Chains A and B, each alone.
Chain A
Amino acid sequence: MRQLKLEAPRRGAPRRGSLFAALALAVGALVIGGPLAAETAGVDEPVAVELPAVPVSAAAEAAPEPEADITVPEADTAADAELAEPAEPAMAAEPAAAPEAADAAPPVADTAPEPAAARPSLDAAVAALADRSFKVKEQAVADMAASGDPRAAELLKALLAGELYVKKDDDRIVFAERAGDGFALTDALSGDALGEVGRRDATKITINNRMRGAVRTAIAALTLASPDPAVRLSAAREMVGTADPDALAALQAQLAQEDDAEVKDAIGLALAIAGLRAEAAADRVAAVEALGGSLYPQARNALDTLIGSEQDEAVLAAARASRADIERRLQNNRRIETLFFGLSLGSVLVLAAIGLAITFGVMGVINMAHGELIMIGAYTTYLVQLAMPNAIDWSLFVAIPAAFLVAGLFGVAIERGVIRFLYGRPLETLLATFGISLILQQLVRTTISAQNVIVENPSWMSGSLQINPALSLTFNRLYILVFALLVFFALLMILKRTALGLQVRAVSQNRAMARAMGVRSARVDALTFGLGAGIAGVAGVALSQLTNVGPNMGQAYIIDSFMVVVFGGVGNLWGTLVAGLTLGVANKLMEPWTGAVLAKILVLVFIILFIQRRPRGLFPQRGRAADG
């Protein structure tokens, strides 16, 4: 262990105290990232709903339903914000379209003939979407983007979100909204309400991956001049690596008037990558230097391509230096990433094991049903989400206390019903609790379902915290890392600072003496076991966000939990924390060169050897209590 402890920081991150840095980072993310994520999600929706898309507004009064249809799209991604803009910004940037701005709201007929003759007509392009062939549809997307029509971005967004349908009888392109058994349709171009049709009378326009890419690029080009910096940023990022002269000209133009630093960076990157193909060697050197230190994969790949084909010595030298610099930064980022992965795996182990640290570590009960208590916590989350389907984002805050109570009650019942008759007989406790674990599994199978159930992730748990282009930490893992620490310290406080904690420690150290002092040991036993079980339930809430929730899920964690507790030292909470995090990091350090299967085996072998040397684990309990 001593070896590993020294090694982890050295390999994981170059600096001392990196563990604390990572923790601080995680806490920071919780503080900053949480509200931020919630905020964006919150802002998007109202914006999207406000938006009476220009052409549709005429029909809006006639059919309020369909209007909602366009805007309803799950506005949970930042990208959806683009939807709000398209009409105005696109026109602002496009002088040719300016006259339309005035009468954009009135019916379509006016706007259609307006654009220059060379431009493909939006109507024709949209009609082509009804074709079955993806090639035709791809062309249609390109035509829509090139039409210069202000409605194009809107329609492309709807296409991407899967809201455009083909009406089967006349091949009209429509917006469709579920209405009873069928759809309520609105013409996509004119915005006329077309009434309701059966489920089989309209088919969704399917798009494939290549089209999705094309649609996104088209939307990016149409929204590069958006007043919203976030939209401009995603548009500019989408255009990184483009070689299209029109797009580059647009980027140049935007750069001149851009005032947002991040957008400027992204545009600069796109232009620099294009600049690598410049005629003059000096221009190429300048481009190479502009790319120096950039962590975007596109920058690195562009440099690689350049190094492969470059003739000019000076350019080559600059490119090599720039490339080496990038590689070094990437290496550092990768180390931080591995450390984070290890800590996050460790935090899952800690969460799973910490309840066991109470029941097994403090009370000495070998509880084979520990995994099933975790499962009960996870199922509680599922039931809570079923009860509040419209507030998934908040469901976890309800689920945590609920899971604690439910699993805790199960724990008390198990202790009162079975375990209290078996104290001091570990073999029988083991068998009995194993039986209980089977009963609990079967209970879930018969009452809920033998299949896995869906537990949804709240929106603030999805996605990742982008620290730089090469390093992003996923939110769910960050939160669970922080959550594990919170649970750990809360438990520590309970044991160290409360009357119950004092009694628990007293009973576990010397039952007879504690009873002589007036502690009701039977009640304390039940509460302690309930506490351990409740913590297992809380762990189940966290695990439901990471893995499958099914009747067997507890089985996957029981071995790991015992491993962590034994390794950390029975009866010592700190040992559990350190052991869990250490095993997590060790596992992740090994994984790249041994593979997931072998890494797990090696960790197990290591623990067996370690226990041979130090049977009482990392932090053995000392004194008479430990010898008893």
Chain B
Amino acid sequence: MRKTAPVASLLKTLALSGALALGLGAGHLSAQEEAAASGEDAIKVGVLHSLSGTMAISETTLKDTMLMLIEQQNEKGGLLGKQLEAVVVDPASDWPLFAEKARELLEKEKVAAVFGCWTSVSRKSVLPVFEELNGLLFYPVQYEGEESSRNVFYTGAAPNQQAIPAVDYLKDELGVERWVLAGTDYVYPRTTNKILEAYLKQNGVAEEDIMINYTPFGHSDWQSIVADIKKFGSEGKKTAVVSTINGDANVPFYKELGNQGISAEDIPVVAFSVGEEELSGIDTKPLVGHLAAWNYFMSVDAPENETFIETWQDFIKSDQRVTNDPMEAHKIGFDLWVKAVEKAGSTDPDKVIDAIVGLETGNLTGGTAKMLPNHHITKPVLIGEIQEDGQFAVVWQTEEEVPGDAWSDYLEGSKDLVGDWTDPINCGNYNTKTKECLGAVAAE
């Protein structure tokens, strides 16, 4: 008898917390089911972004962006005479759950296209599902490249649209000769740094002039790393830090830089994962002058951008909210998808995939975004310096749009590969030397 008491209350505790968790989740689902039941005739659009967990900070905004775009389209009369309907699911920053939710969207909800994912690991997790069920995924975030899938459209930057131009800027405009490649320890920073290291070496940078450093997610004790960077940078040659540090670890990193007296003039830091949204949670005073490379900044002075910001702030009912690069990517992706569906006269994935290549739409910085055969798009590259108000001042930009390159030209295994989803090649990793498609045996 004495034994049962603890077990019983243990079960009680478990049941309680379980009920709590279910209760939270269930609220969401029922709301969607209601929405789903509303119109049989609507075209469904899946939104696959984490609304809870560590990535919620960044991804919630993208979910709202999609809702806004869909609402706008419906106001214009929908698509093919039907209304669009958003199906929102929450993969909760849990990578395997992304695959399950993707399957649910495609099989159960039968959505015409899915807009979603943020981290590379979540994209890798859903990729087989989209290929198996022949769905469409629009992926809006800058990533490490080395991938081209028939079912995925990469509307964020490939390395040659962000990392390489940023390094060129530091090298040519600021005369940087020594490089610190600092990143969070996961697939995107590691692949990007591999490409950058190869690129720098091909440009005559010596081994000892490159310092590579990885830290865990959420790292907060930057003292010795910053001291190392300071030492590395005080040896005579102009030094810069190329940062692929992700998420909130950036805050203590920049704080430590400021406290140890490293200013942007001494050792500039160019970041690939720090945008307006991230800066809105940071005290930006110590960051002024540090750089970021993106394809869009909220501060860009273009009429398209002004309209977009106004619509966004109206939709979200706050004039404090910022816009950022992945939001622009979603807008471009959505516009291109709408155009492709109109051109094909159908939402059938095969027809859309055939129709979308070569389509163009205006981006928010005054240029055009064109869908390329490798399912990447053309983008301008902008380098901005952080200002005290959390915005970026553009200090450099490419003359024209840069086409996204799926396979890096600087890595041994991938430099001969191209992705081309048009006839006659129809292959994501076609080797231009041997003239054959590697198919499923992708060169990793």
A residues in contact (CB < 8 Å) with B: 74, 134, 162, 204, 206, 208-210, 212-213, 216, 297, 300-301, 304-305, 334, 337-338, 341, 344-345, 348, 425, 427-428, 431-432, 435, 438-439, 442, 450-454, 456-457, 462-464, 466, 472, 474-477, 546-548, 550, 552, 556, 588, 591-592, 595-597, 600
Contacts and interface: CB of A to CB of B under 8 A. Distances in A.
A546 B219 CA distance: 11
Nearest to A445: B52
Nearest to A454: B283
Nearest to A301: B236
Given A454-B282, A596-B219, A425 B17 contact: no
Contacts, number: 141
B224 A591 contact: yes
Given A438-B17, A597-B214, A454 B10 contact: no
Given A450-B57, A452-B281, A546-B252, A304 B13 contact: no
20 contacts: A204-B387, A209-B291, A300-B235, A341-B223, A348-B221, A425-B6, A431-B17, A435-B16, A450-B60, A451-B281, A457-B283, A462-B286, A464-B259, A474-B260, A556-B218, A592-B228, A596-B214, A596-B215, A597-B215, A600-B216
Contact of B220 (A213, A442, A548): A548
Interface stretch (B261-269, B324-332, B338-346, B432-440): B261-269
Contacts of B14: 431
A338 B231 CA distance: 13
Contact of B265 (A216, A464, A466, A552): A216
B248 A596 contact: no
B360 interface: no
A208 B387 contact: no
Contacts of A442: 24
Interface string B384-402: 0101100001010000000
Contacts of B17: 431, 435, 438
B69 interface: no
A474 B259 contact: yes
B265 A213 contact: yes
Contact of A477 (B9, B223, B236, B289): B223
Given A435-B17, A454-B283, A550 B220 contact: no
B399 to A, nearest CB: 14
Given A206-B385, A305-B236, A348-B221, 14 more contacts: A204-B387, A208-B395, A210-B173, A210-B174, A338-B224, A425-B6, A435-B17, A438-B17, A450-B56, A452-B57, A457-B283, A463-B259, A464-B259, A547-B252
A431 B220 contact: no
A334 B289 CA distance: 28
Interface in B93-145: none
A241 to B, nearest CB: 10
Nearest to B5: A425
B292 to A, nearest CB: 13
Contacts of B259: 462-464, 474-477
Nearest to B261: A464
Q: Which 5 A-B pairs have the closest CB atoms?
A: A297-B234, A301-B236, A206-B393, A547-B220, A474-B259
A475 B255 CA distance: 12
Interface string B221-241: 101110110010011100000
Contacts of B248: 452, 548, 550
B335 interface: no
Contacts of A162: 387-388
A412 to B, nearest CB: 21
B87 interface: no
A171 to B, nearest CB: 16
Contacts of A550: 248
A74 to B, nearest CB: 8
Interface string B56-87: 11001000000000000000000000000000
Nearest to B394: A206
Contacts of A438: 17, 20
B385 A208 contact: yes
A474 B221 CA distance: 13
Contacts of B235: 297, 300-301, 304
A596 B289 CA distance: 27
B228 to A, nearest CB: 7
Contacts of B219: 596
B258 A428 contact: no
Nearest to B17: A435
A546 B251 CA distance: 9
A356 B57 CA distance: 30
B431 interface: no
Contacts of B283: 454, 456-457
A428 B218 contact: no
B50 to A, nearest CB: 11
A425 B5 CA distance: 11
Given A206-B393, A451-B57, A431 B10 contact: yes
Contacts of A477: 223, 259
Given A162-B388, A301-B235, A548 B252 contact: yes
B354 interface: no
B281 to A, nearest CB: 5
B393 A464 contact: no
A451 B219 CA distance: 17
A435 B10 CA distance: 12
Nearest to A552: B54
Nearest to B236: A301
A345 B252 CA distance: 14
Interface in B177-229: 185, 213-216, 218-221, 223-225, 227-228
A440 B283 CA distance: 26
Nearest to A452: B281
Contacts of A427: 6, 10
Residue of B14, B52, B234 with most partner-chain A CB within 10 A: B234
B9 to A, nearest CB: 6
A425 B224 CA distance: 42
Nearest to B383: A208
Contact of A592 (B20, B57, B174, B224): B224
Contact of A337 (B227, B236, B261, B268): B227
A545 to B, nearest CB: 9
Interface string B274-289: 0000000111011001
B10 A209 contact: no
Nearest to B221: A345
B256 A428 contact: no
Nearest to B395: A208
A432 B13 contact: yes
B298 to A, nearest CB: 14
Nearest to B223: A341
A597 B182 CA distance: 13
Nearest to A435: B17
Contacts of B395: 134, 206, 208
A472 B261 contact: yes
Contacts of B216: 596-597, 600
Given A297-B235, A305-B236, A463-B259, A209 B227 contact: no
Contact of A596 (B6, B16, B225, B268): B225
Given A345-B223, A428-B9, A597-B185, A209 B236 contact: no
A212 B388 CA distance: 14
A62 B282 CA distance: 39
B6 to A, nearest CB: 6
Given A162-B387, A432-B13, A547-B220, A454 B260 contact: no
Given A305-B236, A452-B251, A435 B13 contact: yes
Given A547-B220, A547-B251, A597-B215, A209 B385 contact: yes
Contacts of B393: 204, 206, 208
A213 B267 CA distance: 12
A592 B60 CA distance: 38
Given A134-B395, A547-B252, A595 B223 contact: no
Interface string B375-417: 0000000000101100001010000000000000000000000
